[in-house]
Amino acid sequence: MIWLLPIYYLAEESSETASITDGIVKTTIAHVPAGSSRMYATIIAAYFIFGYAMYAILKEMEWYIEMRHKYLKKPLPQHFAVFCRNIPKEVLDNTHLEQFFGSCFSDENVLEARVPMKISNLEKEVAKRDETLEKLEHALAVYQKDGERPQHKEKIDEKKMCGPKELVDSINFYTAKLEEENKAVEEHINHLQEIAIKGNHEESSKQNNGTDIENPAGDESSAHKSFVSSVAAKTSNLATSMASKTGSQLTHSLGHAVSFVTGSDDGELYPSGFVVFKKISTANAALQMIHHRKPFTMEVIEAPNPKDVYWGNVGRTHKDLQLGRLGSFAATSALCLLWTIPMSFFASLSNAGAAREDVEFLDDLFDKYPGLIPVLEQLAPFLVVIFNALLPIILEQFTLFEGPVSSGVVASSKFIKLAAFMIIQTFFVSAISGSIFQAISDIIDDWTEIIDLLANALPAQGTYFMQIILVTTTLNMVFELPRLVAVVMAFLRKYLGPNLTEKERSKAFMGLRAMSDPAPFIHPKFTSQLVLYFIILFVYAVISPITPLITGICFLFMSSMYKHQFIFNYPKTDSGGKLFANFIQIAISCMLIAQITIFGLLGLKKAAKQLPIYIPLLCITILFNMYIKQMHFRVAQFLPTHEGLTEDLHLNEDFDYSFLEGAYIQPALAAEPRLAPDASLTENIDTNKPHEEALIDVDEGEGLGENVGSAETEEDVDDEKKNMLT
């Protein structure tokens, strides 16, 4: 668009442009008189820039679909599995859910099903045990380093709220405590696994009269396999019908026993689950099928990576999800409206001289401190950038209301919200409010000049937006290339938190990470900034031709910088391209917004002859948007049937499915039943002494606890205490 610079700069003089003295503003369409034939160049440039953008999007979609399908063929757990929501009660356990999908496809194609459950108490126990293990390993590391057994004060009698604390041998104390917690966790896990396998089908058996599962499709043509399963189930039920009452009573008793052992909250099955298949094509087919006649029942969506599951959202009901989405939308909309206030104020500061005439306290402030005027004008873009940095934190909390089951879904939803904020707040509010503030005093003097004033003020805002993208790019480079934030955090981590062992040093402490453990790259935040770059580029490419040059330089620097960072610094992450699909859709929306903005500006410039030529471009872009949304994104979302079957043929009989077995068990349920400290820390250390023998009197050095365990006589007790003290 460089060729537009002389066309705008050398435009004929007129009374409406006589007040323009800024050299950069003279290179914009603001310097072109109303009705000038030079605006034909603007129309030609618009066809070129938007035509090329549509061509580039088509090429990008071809590349994206190819890479997306290549990703979907990888033997990853999430490609063999699906996530089910709102599961009917009659199939709400591992066994019956597996049978349900076995009847939909075939039993040979289903590897396993996992129905998660409430395990809040177990999670607390596992977390408590992990904390005990960390303390034990730390005590062992202290002993290895100093050669002396560490001691600490501990309240032994937990029944006494204000009982005295006594000095104990840390290694012996935490060893005994870990053993107790290992036993409790192991018993807890065993009870919960019984529930997951058996379930509680007392109510569903009454409703279905012994039928395992309901015909998922609800019609005769699709009921053959379900019918076979039902016949087998009914035949089996004939042999057990006389024991049904006894079985119900046992199940009821088991429920009470579990509640007693595990706590009232644990053991309740969530109305959702994961189903793992043996073939990628089967999982792909399950994603595209309707599995129940009732809307929203047995809703099947993509399964996340097992390490990426948000277990806190897995068990949310349909009603809860609908209310959460409504709350997220309402909160985001309210924040968007309230965010207008600070963003409008910061935008007005870019022209502080004009803002002081409309804001009383600014006028008084600038009279008292005139030196603040240039400072605030330069500071305005920085304030916008700082406030935008707070948005991801706030919007991520709103996104969690919606019930996403993976961080990839969180990132995708958060990106859409951030992009909307960038377009509405950073761009539109800044452009409109800045233009109005700049011309408001002249509008008050002569309101009939509002069209000419806004037509000149809007292009002049291009300078402000160029400042924003330059500031954003510069700050990113200053902090990103030398890794300033990571270096400071690593420096603090070196001196804060436990650091005795390699395990302790490599673990994050209060958000502080070592350089060897970099935090993952925040893709939604960065990609939403790119949306701002693109909306500025699309709008001002033909209005202010110097803008594409500035954005091109920024893209060049960011491209080389982030390529280096992704290769050498950031851990590899792969969400399957969810962000890219959303980015393309938003980019097309940015094109439409930009074209409408240019259309309005041409109207303000009284370009009556040029507008009829420009309107077809709007129609072409709308048709392009409709065309690309018909099938491109759907094709990219799923793996084609033939490609999926071809990939399954490569999985021979010797294919190892071990990476799929138990992949979607909740972390606390999948925890090791018994934990032990690192073997390298326990060499030549006796950690088998009883809990009570760890007690040491602070003054006398004598055992205070009552003997339990390995010492069988009083002499043995004395010998053990002497050995402990030495």
Contact assessment for residue 548 and residue 381, using Cβ atoms and an 8 Å cutoff: no
59 and 147 share one domain: no
The amino acid that residue 250 corresponds to is L
For 474, 549, 655, 699, the CA distances from 556, given in Å and listed in that order, are 12, 11, 45, 71
- In a shared domain, residues 162 and 281: no
Q: Which domain holds residue 695?
A: 125-182+671-725
What is the pairing mode between strands 299-302 and 272-277?
unpaired
Phi, psi of 309, deg, nearest 5: -75, 135
How far, in Å, CA of 346 to CA of 100, rounded? 58
Return all residues near 617 (Cβ < 8 A) that are at least 6 apart: 43, 46, 47, 50, 595
Tell me the three state secondary structure of residue 301: strand
Count of CB atoms situated within 10 Å of the CB of 128: 14
Place of tokens 């595990």: 262
Q: Is the pLDDT of residue 48 over 90?
A: yes
What's the confidence (pLDDT) of residue 453? Answer: 53
Query: 198: Cβ–Cβ under 8 A, 6 or more apart, which residues?
Result: 93, 95, 251, 254
365 vs 344: CA distance, rounded Å: 19
Question: Which amino acid, one-letter code, is at 691?
Answer: H
Contact 380, 434 (CB under 8 A): no
Look at 112 and 154; give whichever has higher pLDDT: 112
> Are 618 and 561 contained in the same domain?
yes
Residue 312: inside a domain: no
Q: What is the pLDDT of residue 263?
A: 42
Domain assignment present for residue 141? The answer is yes
Q: Is the pLDDT of residue 345 over 80?
A: no
pLDDT band at 356 (very low <50, low <70, confident <90, very high): low
Hey, how many other C-beta atoms are within 10 angstroms of the C-beta on 229? 19
Residues 377, 349 share a domain: yes
pLDDT of residue 507: 83
- What does the alpha-carbon distance between residue 314 and residue 561 come to, in Å, rounded to a whole number? 38
Q: Which of 157-166, 220-229, 605-614 is modeled with the greatest confidence?
A: 605-614
Confirm if 214 and 230 have CB atoms less than 8 A apart. no
Q: Is 193 helix (H, G, I), strand (E, B) or coil?
A: helix
Distance between terminal CA atoms of the chain?
85
Q: How far is Cα 93 from Cα 170, in angstroms, rounded to an integer?
A: 43
Does the residue 609 lie in any domain?
yes
CB 604 within 8 A of CB 451: yes
**Do 498 and 466 fall into the same domain?**
yes
Choice between 427 and 282, residue whose per-residue pLDDT is larger: 282
Residues 513 and 572 grouped into a single domain:
yes
Structure token digits, residue 571: 């851990």
Asked if residue 352 is part of any domain, the answer here is yes
Query: Which of 273, 304, 335 lies at the terminal end of a domain, its last residue?
Result: 304
As given in the structure block, the two tokens for residue 107 are 């039993």
Crossing angle for the helix pair 430-445 and 318-349, to the nearest 10 degrees = 50
- Least Cα distance to 465 among 353, 389, 541, 560 occurs for 541
Nearest to 710, CA basis, from 725, 699, 721 = 721
Residue 367 has pLDDT above 50, yes or no: yes
Write the secondary structure of 205-246 as one string of H (helix), E (strand) and C (coil): HHHHCCCCCCCCCCCHHHCHHHHHHHHHHHHHHHHHHHHHHH
Alpha-carbon span 589 to 594, nearest angstrom: 9
Residue 663 falls within a domain, yes or no? no
How many helices (H) and strands (E) would you count in the chain? 26, 7
DSSP H or E stretch at residue 704: none
**Burial level of 633, CB count in 10 A (0-12/13-18/19+)?**
middle
* Residues 5, 25 contacting (CB under 8 angstroms): no
Give me the number of domains the chain comprises.
3
Residues forming beta bridges with residue 166, ordered by sequence position: 154
Least-confidence region, from 234-243, 282-291, 367-376, 410-419: 234-243
Q: Report the relative pairing of strands 151-154 and 695-696 from DSSP bridges.
A: unpaired
**Nearest one of 230, 132, 235, 125 to 174, comparing CA atoms:** 132
Residue 113 has which token pair?
């099903």
What residues contact residue 295 under an 8 Å CB cut-off, 6+ apart? none
- pLDDT the model gives residue 378: 76
Residue 246 and residue 170 share a domain? no
Tokens matching residue 162: 């204000």
pLDDT of residue 225: 39
| Within-domain flag for 653 | no
Report the distance separating Cα 184 and Cα 178, nearest Å: 10
Residues 454 and 443: their CA atoms lie apart, in Å, by 9
pLDDT band at 557 (very low <50, low <70, confident <90, very high): very high
Q: Are residues 347 and 397 in the same domain?
A: yes
Amino acid letter at 413? Answer: S
Closest CA to 229 of 124, 97, 426, 320: 97
CB atoms within 10 A of CB 517: 15
Do 540 and 442 belong together in one domain? yes
Rg value, the chain, Cα? 34
CB 143 within 8 A of CB 683: no
Question: Which residues are CB-contacts of 540 (< 8 A; sequence separation ≥ 6)?
Answer: 459, 462, 465, 547
Q: Quick one: pLDDT at residue 130?
A: 92
pLDDT at 563: 92
User: In terms of domains, do 607 and 715 share one?
Assistant: no
Is residue 380 very low, low, confident or very high in pLDDT (cuts 50, 70, 90)?
confident
271 and 333 fall within a common domain: no
Band (pLDDT 50/70/90 cuts) for residue 160 is low
Band the pLDDT of 418: cuts 50, 70, 90: confident
| Within a domain: 311 | no
Residue 267: its pLDDT value, please?
A: 82
Does the structure show a pLDDT above 70 at 306? yes
Q: Rounded to whole angstroms, how far apart are CA atoms 524 and 399?
A: 12
Residues 6+ apart with CB under 8 A from 642: none
Residue 665 lies in a domain: no
pLDDT digits (tens, 9 = 90+) for 484-527: 888 998 888 888 888 877 778 888 888 888 888 888 888 888 88
Q: 629 by DSSP, 3-state: which?
A: helix
Give the residue carrying structure tokens 């009470």.
256
Q: Check residue 30 and report its DSSP letter.
A: G
Residue 665 tokens, joined: 């068990």
Q: Based on the domain organization, do 411 and 518 belong to the same domain?
A: yes
Predicted confidence (pLDDT) per residue in 205-255, tens digit: 444 444 344 444 444 344 333 433 443 343 334 333 433 433 443 334 334
> Which residue in the block uniquely carries the two structure tokens 């990939």?
647
